Amino acid sequence: MVSIVKSSDITKPLRISDELDLDLNDTVGKFIAVLGIRGSGKTNTAAVILEELLNYNFPLTIVDIDGEYWGLKEKYEILVVGKSENVDIEIGIQHAEKIAEISLTKNVPIILDVSGYAYDEAHKLLLLYFRRLWDLAGKFRKPYEIVIEEAHEFIPQGMSDELKRILVKIALRGRKRGLGAIILSQRSAKVEKDVLTQAEILFLHKVVHPSDLKVYKDMLPVAPKNVSEIINALSTGECVLYCGEVCTTIHVRIRKTFHAGYTPALGEIEIPRLKSISEEILNLVRNYTNIETPPLDPQNSLAELESLKEIIEEKNRTIRQLSKDLHELKLEQANQANSTRDSLPSGSIRCRSVVSEQNYDKNGFEEELPLEIIKHIELILKRINCLSRPEREMFRFLLIKDQKEYSYKQISNWIKYSVKTLHTHSLKNLVEIGLVNRRRKKDGYYFCSNFDKFVEKEFGSDNVETELMQNIKSHLKSKII
């Protein structure tokens, strides 16, 4: 475990990684950079750091340009303001300074969701907000953290404006006022180099662009050749930690709060119950800013409630039917086991033991299959096992998802292979075999499982009865999944 020297006798550990012993006192007022390409684990690392800070009720502001950080509300009371469908209170540019005052003086964690503003509006709002924070920090001198997502958009290399100057001032000189900064970027080379090189704690995830890699080489006290080797070897969730005299590879734990950034791609993730903001804080914001919270529309609320009731009832009906089918199936298999155990047809073998209702196992019922069919199944499995691992993982995913269509990008989000890897190990072989269907849409190819029709075609010539065909499908599917 990497140990960082404590700066206080009262320890407040930040549990970011099992391989890292870091304390809150070591991060107060520090300038932290979290860098890496999309999908490398950068956003997860930032969320984990924020979770640890919020565990100690540490006041902070998160600049959220994509509307993805509201998932922190699953476990923490954090006020989301700005302009999007996820904010607690919508604000305008004229409210920026007052919100900054509330956050710093009243210790209210804030997410500034600027995803709904035009660029110029967001720019002006952030300028007023952080300029006010800087002034207040000089007066109150209390620990406070700012978090800048996609920092290359606000602290770009070469160009300069008022917003960049105030953010650079906070990052490099904020410590004396208690201000710390955490910046994130997927393009290290586009962030002002003079700022990055002053970062006191670095979490460096994988990058592939040569110019981004060069930034890493300039910042790390390691031979450039070794930097390339270390960074290229990083897997998702791993990063190089550089803090003081420490330079080592760590694996950051998985965040405990909902990652709203996955929702549009996956679509089927259930949104958790979020913590409500106290009326005390909401009233405080209203009083400071004169913002009126719009009243709820009774008709819309009633319609939404009825819709949720219908969804719940439909799920309950499905659960009841599945439970009934499962119970009947277990009884049927138990009866078959008793009646056929001593009268197996000649030439057949037991693929697995038939289970009774009492010893029914979690993988479902087992069936006896004729020898020739078992050999046929083994040949199919051999063809599948000859495929590369990414191909097998893609097919397994499509098989689990049954008839639903997915693009390479959507599959990548689920099985954690990069899109580039999936294109290299394409589904072409499975399409040619007939196990997968491919359909072209405007934005590329989409794939779905063709398992049922494939099995029916493969075994249809054997005059297989419907019940036996279903057993073949179940047996083959269990072997693959």
pLDDT of residue 304: 64
With b for 16 or more beta-carbon neighbours within 10 A and e for fewer, the 192-224 pattern comes to bbebbeebbbbbbbbbeeeebbbbbeebbebee
Which token pair is 66? 């994509």
DSSP string, 194-257: HHHTT-SEEEE----SHHHHHHHHHHSSS-HHHHHHHHHTPPTTEEEEEETTEEEEEEPPPPSS
pLDDT of residue 458: 84
| CA gap 127, 147 in Å, rounded | 14
pLDDT of residue 297: 54
- In 3D space, the residue among 403, 405, 402, 385 whose CA is nearest the CA of residue 393 turns out to be 385
Residue 331, CB half-sphere, CA atoms under 13 Å: how many?
A: 6
pTM (predicted TM-score):
0.61
The DSSP output letter for 450 is -
pLDDT of residue 34: 97
Report the amino acid identity of residue 222: V
| CA gap 85, 212 in Å, rounded | 34
pLDDT tens across 215-272, in order?
A: 999 999 999 999 999 999 999 999 999 998 889 999 999 999 998 876 444 445 677 8
pLDDT of residue 20: 86
Across the strands, what pairs with 22?
14
pLDDT of residue 473: 84
pLDDT tens across 25-36, in order?
A: 888 889 999 999
Evaluate whether 91 touches 81 at the Cβ level (below 8 Å). Answer: yes
What is the CATH number that goes with domain 367-480? 1.10.10.10
Evaluate whether 155 touches 163 at the Cβ level (below 8 Å). Answer: no
pLDDT of residue 27: 87
pLDDT of residue 246: 87
Strands (E), 74-143: 79-82, 89-90, 110-113
pLDDT of residue 318: 76
Q: How many helices (H) and strands (E) does the chain have?
A: 17, 17
- H or E element, residue 456: helix 451-459
DSSP string, 405-430: -B-HHHHHHHH---HHHHHHT-SHHH
- In 3D space, the residue among 267, 257, 187, 199 whose CA is nearest the CA of residue 46 turns out to be 257
Helices 389-400 and 466-480, interaxial angle, to 10°?
A: 130
Domain 2-289 has CATH 3.40.50.300: yes
User: Which of the residues in the chain have pLDDT under 50?
Assistant: 263-267, 296, 341-367
Please give the backbone phi and psi of residue 81, each rounded to the nearest 5 degrees, phi first. Answer: -125, 160
The DSSP output letter for 25 is G
Place of tokens 């009841």: 320
pLDDT of residue 115: 92
In the chain, what are the domain boundaries? 2-289, 367-480
Please give the backbone phi and psi of residue 432, each rounded to the nearest 5 degrees, phi first. Answer: -65, -35
pLDDT tens across 82-93, in order?
A: 999 889 999 999
Report the amino acid identity of residue 466: T
Which token pair is 145? 């953290």
